[in-house]
Structure 1
Amino acid sequence: MQEDKVHAIVDACHLVENGDIEGASRLIGARYPFRPLSKSARAYTPRAMTKIFVRDGFIDRYRGDRLVYPPALRLLSHYMPDAFPYHKNGKMSVGHYAYWELFPTIDHVVPVALGGPDIEDNWACCSMLTNSIKSNWTLDQLRWSLLLPGDFTAWDGMVSWFLRRVEQDASVLVNLYVRQWYRAALEVTQGIDLVATQ
């Protein structure tokens, strides 16, 4: 596949060299066409995200790394603002690297920009770092594969710790972000045995 694209570029270069710009354009259009990416803003609720993180066992589905529930990280920043700083836009020179390396997000396995559907079957949990690398590329283009989900009963992403911490210090619920994620965690994990040791 990649070789075909390289050959298309080589052949187009030869046509340009021979003065056949129109032929080079037709060749590129037929063998390696430009397809503009569609862009649309998507926002997911804490509940929808928690549901996917739990389903995927809080692992990066492309790398296999463990990830941490977003509001657990935020509570650490609340308690230790100097040692574990948070920046609302993820600015790495200001916020802790954990917000890129361990912070889970939802990725579209087949990018929406390339025609992938915006449905749960096309969603995968991965870190912000992995998501930024993957961007709008397909797994074939990156030579990646989708790993099996993790086991939520073995690693819960510190959800149980987060819930315990909020119960021990309800003052953190003043923060809207923490409050929304707390409700989401309660709803999604209802009836699930949480990992008591985390």
Structure 2
Amino acid sequence: MEIVNDGAFVPDSEGYEKIERWNSENTKKLADHYKAIIELLGEDVSREGLLDTPVRVAKAMQFLTHGYNVDPGKIIQSAKFKEDYRQMVIVKDIEIYSMCEHHMIPFYGKAHVAYIPNGYITGLSKIARVVEAFARRLQVQERLTVQIRDCIQENLNPLGVAVVIEAGHMCMQMRGVQKQNSVTTTSAFTGIFLSQNKTREEFVHLIGTKLH
């Protein structure tokens, strides 16, 4: 199966290079489907502005759903360290861009994630990467919230996990009910965040406080 490299980029003299890799077989199949879709919508796929659109969309959709090829549990396990720290760790305002599975239209917003270690911590960037891995799939916000919570709980076994997601859904904003300013909030908790109101309230207070 051929892998195509695309978009090599060297921004400075230090040798940094970014290469995007695409599965050529999947890209061609997707592009063929998108070409047919564009034609069914009444457009002329042979005109200049649309000549490369099917391939561009095929690549874009593979990027927007690349979370299927990522194991979030391995992300946590790759940076799991013993540490005697039992206070709350919060990574908040993690940007989320995902695709609603009902209409394949984006929803976007922020995730706030906290856990209380029980002998182990993980790299802070790994929390954001777990969020990204689950977000880059066809999703519903409710499931996304629970998947993030469960992944951290299962791989770190902390005293508790808390996840809150706030998102705007373009399926509500640009079609259907067309309410532009609506925001959906979902939450999921385990352990201490469920059993101790003060801990949960502290988390809610901290994610709503600007400390910087």
Q: TM-score normalised to the size of structure 1?
A: 0.24
Higher RCO structure, 1 or 2 (CA under 8 Å, sep 6+): 1
Q: Which has the larger radius of gyration?
A: 1
Flag the structure with higher strand content: 2
Q: TM-score normalised to the size of structure 2?
A: 0.23
